Structure 1
Amino acid sequence: MVRVADRGPETTIPEVALRHALAVSAPRLVLTILYHPNLKRVGQRGELGKFKLGQVAELSRHSPLFTDPHVSANEAPLADRHISRQPIVFTRDRAGVAVSLPARGSSLHVDGQAVIGSHHLSRADLSRGVVLLLARRLVLLLKLAPVETGAEASRDSSFIGASSALDILRSEIGAVAATDAAVMLRGESGTGKELAAQAIHSSSARREQPLVAVNMAAIPAELAAAELFGVRKGAFTGADADKPGYFQQAAGGTLFLDEIGACPEPVQPLLLRALESGEVQRAGGRIETVDVRVVSATDASVEEQGFSAALLHRLAVVTLRVPPLRDRVEDVGLLFFHFLRELDCNAPAPLHQPQMDPVIHGQWAALVVDLARYRWPGNVRELRNFCQQIVLSTRAHGSLRVPQIIMDALHQDSVVAFAQRSEAYRVAAELPADEVIRVMEQADYEPARAARLLDVSRTALYKRLQGIEELRLANDVPAQEVREVYRQSEGQVQQAAATHRVSRPALLRRWRALELAPRAR
């Protein structure tokens, strides 16, 4: 949700715009198509109606009507001949919703369990979202969800999905994009914070100007000020030309500072001055004024890391929370087939054949059920990685083939998985050193990948690494050692990274800082 910092007259978000962005209707029972033999139907929504006591609604081949969430025309029922005309009846009672199946109707599975005769769904079930498998070939999500009512959404179309959570985020983005307020994006790793920053920029009056994205965690601490604010020729040894910083490069546009919690402490006052006055100073140069809108992002609690409170208030005039994938299960089907098409346009080709064997439809439907019930600790990024593995495996076998490692993850006990991978991050400081070492090796010493595997934030993992003697970052390797290993490896970065036990990208950045060039094999 949008949250405006308590800054009195400095707040740049008009209250009326904020109320407009948060306008939602009372919750309704909504069905979203996660899988349909006609892939064009995936993502369409149909309402069972308002959540009123005693209300009765039906689900069958002919009702309710489904449509694209943002298009009012072309409403249509499920219209699949394998779905019975005899309706499944939903009745609202005081505890939730009672589900009644006709004697000779379509089979129904609820969250993977077959239903015979009747079933009851609690309000908690409906708030979370219930996965329905109908006739073993259609997958629907039944959810009690708010419906966004008319707030102007972002013009950006980067986000794939039709969930209520995403609709609300789009409306929030549309509201803040009309201002120049500094925005902080909060959300777990892999949720799409950079996409949200791009949407804010492309929906704003600055859309024709540059959008410069910077990962603060990837900048060596000693170079952060020069990278952000620039360097004047002759400022120090090696500064043989003027170099604009990221602020100058983003002049007139938007500067996106990802992993803001990794901003070095000495740089924070400089960043605060830039936000307060628009003034920056290159190393060795004069103070200059730049017109930049700053959007920042973090997947951690910067308040607990000793981050400057004054800077935090300036960065978070508005806070937007990017929802995790488990809170937008309605989007899993759309994202899944989008990534399959993006990664290999031939992967879902059989789904476009109208006379496909029903068994094959059943295989795809069963897979989507598993995807919808998974907790997605790595969020959208993890789903895309799954799709990449499925595409490679399917391409090798010529038919749908899901790698066993993915099936093992999808079929683990969902309750246990949720307990182990709760919405809160694990406490990095309490992780055993041997576990961190093992995971870092598995991740090729790339902290970002290791953090996802450990379910901790990247910034918190960096701090944990400082207490483990066996591990270090490329920036912590003495320059003399870097040069010596560079000479021994003959400039082969993969060999050198293995020797140092650091990530290849980070070592490459260190080499560039030391004016060492990698050599081709």
Structure 2
Amino acid sequence: MSDSTEYTQTLQLSAQGIPARPLLALTILWHPDAARIGEQFVGDPAALDVNRYGPLFYRPGQAGLPLGHGTISRDPVRIVRDGEGVTLHLPATRMPVELNGRATTGQVRFDASEVARGQVLMLGRAVVLCLHWMHCLPKHNPVPGLVGVGAAAIGLRDQIRMVAPTDIPVLLLGETGTGKEIAARAIHALGQRAQTRLVAVNMAALNESLAAAELFGAARGAYTGAQERRGLFAEADGATLFLDEIGNAPPSVQPMLLRVLEGGDYRPLGASHDRKTSARLIAATDQDLDTAVFNQALLRRLEGFAIQLPPLRERREDIGVLIVHLLQAHGAQPALPVELVVEIACYDWPGNIRQLGHTLRRAALLVQHGGAPQLEQLVRLTPAPSGSAARLMPAVEAAPAPAPAPAAVAAEPPRRKPSELTDADVLEAMAGNDWNIQAASRALGISRPTMYKLLDAHAEIRWAERIPADEIERTLAACDGDVARCAVVLKTPTESLRREVRRLRESV
């Protein structure tokens, strides 16, 4: 079956190429039937009703099925596309509905950029969906090791399949942990040199004084104690050479790399004649090479075909299939608690897929031994670097600081059961932490989703969405526009109030 016929919603969409505007998509991130994870609804409806019986969710080339799970109400969550954004109308039923890890009722509106970031919707404490845009039609275009159902993953695989059969140099760009080496191996595996070896070198690990010899070889006696050596370009002749961390290439070898890229010629250290290589070159970096520090002529040669690998926070719709893929790759079954899956889906993963994989292995081990893993415990072992974009949705404030040294971590409050906490404990934690949910949950020793449930049930604490607009306006005016002070007076979480104030201002 050709790619052109492998689109999903054949009744809703025509296979005529790139859609004129972003398509509305719902991707199953989690389902009691693990085989359903990754199925999608993609279309361009003015309004969409999501319940137990509709819409149909598809995989490319397969028949569609409704969500079907018994915990999902017949009364629908209605999704209305209005202008550039989307409004969710949540049903007044006993079915629990959570949005980005917190219980939600009534109406919630997202602008186009918020939909682009992906919104995590849990229905009936069993099925987790991601609401997002699709900028292309779903299709089956497999590439070894590169898993994903969203537009970014499809586009990445398309580029790899396009360039793999050629000998054009490829430059892979992307943050650490986004899968650049996996992409390099996929290009090699899908190319004409697949039966040869992929020779890989980490340029950051090369010794400045020996880098030229390592790459290009050396004649006997070229330097003190030198024996004749072939070098990596000779090893990769007729094959593929992968230069990882190319941004850390020693300045002394950058002109040599430029020469070999231009014509395949190089001269081993101490040799009297040039040699030639037909190595296909793939390079990768997480740095910005458009600086005076890096040889710009070399950069122009390296980027014969440049591929930008997206960070995980820009492909939230792929979280479910990545969880399954990463767990199965290490022999574990995808049997995580659904609450943990929601936390994972709402986190921004500064270390990207590599960090997610390490975290999932720890989580699977805890589950296997009867534990109840929580994201805060798991990611504390791989803290976000200073200045990273790591955060848990839907918080507006910056994420908590990276974890302190192990001694300080040990001094944090022990994990507590929600049943042990009183309303007074919750109120004191919120008041003592500037009405910041994340900080208060850490102080109480509970997870963020658990904190949301305690706030929902609290007699004195209110969500800003449920406070009359005129009361918010009066209190905000009395606090001279200071949202943090206003949150204290209204006894509402600061992030909730910021969102509501923004919504009220946009509606004027």
Q: Please, what TM-score do these two structures have when normalized by structure 2?
A: 0.69
Distance 2:379 2:269 in 1: 53
**2:351 maps to what in 1?**
378
Check conservation: 2:258, 2:301, Cα contact below 8 A: yes
Summarize the Cα distance change of 1:215–1:24 in structure 2 as closer, same or farther, 3 Å threshold. Answer: farther
Structure 2 counterpart of 1:282, one-letter code: P
Deviation track 1:240-279 (CA, whole Å, cap 9, x = no partner) reads 3x32211111111211111111111111111111000101
Alignment correspondent of 1:57: 48
| Contact 2:344–2:375, Cα closer than 8 Å, also in 1 | no
Cα shift readout 1:93-143 (whole Å, capped 9, x = no counterpart): 235222223343633211223222333232222122110011111111000
Equivalent in the alignment of 1:359: none
Alpha-carbon deviations, 1:159-214, whole Å to 9, x = none?
12212111001111112223221111110011011111111111222222221111
Matches within 5 A, 1:24-173: 24-25=18-19, 26-47=21-42, 49-50=43-44, 55-68=46-59, 71-94=60-83, 96-104=85-93, 106-148=95-137, 153=141, 156-173=143-160
Say if 2:396 is the partner of 1:415. Answer: yes
Distance 2:138 2:347 in 1: 30
Aligned partners of 2:178 and 2:310 also within 8 Å: yes
**SS of 1:276 mapped into structure 2:** helix
Q: Which amino acid aligns with 1:278?
A: G
Alpha-carbon distance between aligned partners in 2 of 1:412 and 1:27, rounded to the nearest angstrom: 22
Change (3 A) 1:280 1:407: closer
Q: For 2:399 and 2:166, how far apart are their aligned partners in 1?
A: 38
Opposite residue 172 of structure 1, the aligned amino acid is Q
For 2:231, the aligned partner's letter is G
Q: Which moved more, 1:271-280 or 1:110-119?
A: 110-119
Q: Secondary structure at the match of 1:415?
A: coil
Give the direction of change, closer, same or farther, for the CA distance of 1:255–1:387 in structure 2 (3 Å limit).
Answer: same
**Aligned match of 1:297:** 284
**What letter corresponds to residue 247 of structure 2 in structure 1?**
G
Q: Does residue 288 of the first structure (1) align with residue 275 of the second (2)?
A: yes
CA shift in 2, pair 1:407/1:246, >3 Å:
closer
Match of 1:268 in 2: 254
The 5 Å alignment of 1:475-514 reads none
Q: Tell me the equivalent position of 2:311.
A: 324
Count of aligned pairs between the two proteins: 380
**What SS is found at the alignment partner of 1:303?**
coil
The alpha-carbon deviation at position 411 of structure 1 amounts to: 5.9
AA of the residue aligned to 1:192:
G
Distance 1:310 1:342, change over 3 A: same
Q: RMSD of the alignment, in Å?
A: 2.8
Tell me: higher relative CO, structure 1 or 2? Use CA pairs within 8 A at least 6 residues apart: 1
Q: Distance in 2 between matches of 1:149 and 1:116?
A: 31
User: TM-score w.r.t. structure 1 length?
Assistant: 0.67
Q: For residues 398-443 of structure 1, what are the alpha-carbon distances to aligned partners after superposition, in whole Å with 9 as ceiling and x for unaligned? A: 244347532767769843446989xxxxxxxxxxxxx99x89xx9x
Partner of residue 195 from structure 2, selected from 187, 203, 208: 208
CA–CA separation in structure 1 for the residues paired with 2:176 and 2:395: 20
Match of 2:245 among 247, 259, 265: 259
- Counterpart-to-counterpart distance in 2, 1:121 and 1:303: 35
The residue type paired with residue 297 of structure 2 is A
Query: Structure 1 CA distance, aligned partners of 2:161 and 2:399?
Result: 33
State the match for 1:391 in structure 2: 364
| Aligned residues with identical type, % of pairs | 38
Superposed displacement of residue 308, structure 1? 0.9
Match of 1:486 in 2: none
Structure 2 stretches lacking a partner, 5+ long: 1-16, 384-390, 410-508
* Partners of 2:18 and 2:240 in 1: CA distance: 29
Partner of 1:194: 181
For 2:100 and 2:250, locate their aligned partners in 1 and report how far apart those are by CA, in whole Å: 47
Note the residue ranges of structure 1 that are not aligned, 5 or more in a row.
1-22, 352-362, 422-434, 443-521
Query: Is 383-392 or 322-331 further displaced after alignment?
Result: 383-392
2:305 paired with 1:313: no
Deviations 1:431-489 (A, max 9, x none): xxxx99x89xx9xxxxxxxxxxxxxxxxxxxxxxxxxxxxxxxxxxxxxxxxxxxxxxx
In structure 2, C-alpha distance between the alignment counterparts of 1:40 and 1:343, rounded to whole Å: 18
